[in-house]
Amino acid sequence: MWATDHASQGLGMEIVSVGPGTATLAMTLTERMCNGFGMGHGGFIFALADSAFAFACNTYDERTVAQHCSVTYLRPGTRGKRLVARAREVSRGGRSGIYDVEVSQDDVVIAQFRGHSRTIGGRITQTDAGGADAPASNKS
């Protein structure tokens, strides 16, 4: 999934860790990510949380997308600071899941995000004839 995630890569995100129902991603707030007040623009903070959510809810090798997301900003992000988004599964059943993500800066939570996921069918990876994992097609 990371190989074709041009949005996350383009924003300079990095994967710190991924496990069943969890993911931690990080990103440094650049000058271009700041709003007119010089603070981290909420859209970039949301994007980091959303990407961590995406990786956490796709750890079961089932293509899963966001159905609904919300974010609460608690403190401003600071230009030049590294933000860390930690996603964890709260509930998963059938085709739906709920994930919470905390975005922190200097170990202080600056935003809380909740994502509702929906499994849409298909695998993320598939085994080719040689036994190696290959990207899944976009067909559901």
What pLDDT, on the 0 to 100 scale, is given for residue 140?
A: 32
Contact predicate 112/72, CB 8 Å: yes
Amino acid at 119: T
What pLDDT, on the 0 to 100 scale, is given for residue 124?
A: 87
What pLDDT, on the 0 to 100 scale, is given for residue 125?
A: 83
What pLDDT, on the 0 to 100 scale, is given for residue 126?
A: 63
Residue 74 sits at the vertex; the CA angle it makes with 73 and 78, to the nearest 5 degrees, is 85
**Closest CA relative to residue 106, chosen from 20, 36, 29:** 29
What pLDDT, on the 0 to 100 scale, is given for residue 137?
A: 39
Q: Mind listing the pLDDT tens digit of every residue in the chain (140 residues)?
A: 999 999 999 999 999 999 999 999 999 999 999 999 999 999 999 999 999 999 999 999 999 999 999 999 999 999 999 999 999 999 999 999 999 999 999 999 999 999 999 999 999 886 444 444 444 433 33
What pLDDT, on the 0 to 100 scale, is given for residue 31?
A: 97
Residue 54 sits at the vertex; the CA angle it makes with 132 and 63, to the nearest 5 degrees, is 50
Contact predicate 79/34, CB 8 Å: yes
What pLDDT, on the 0 to 100 scale, is given for residue 138?
A: 38
**Closest CA relative to residue 112, chosen from 128, 130, 99:** 99
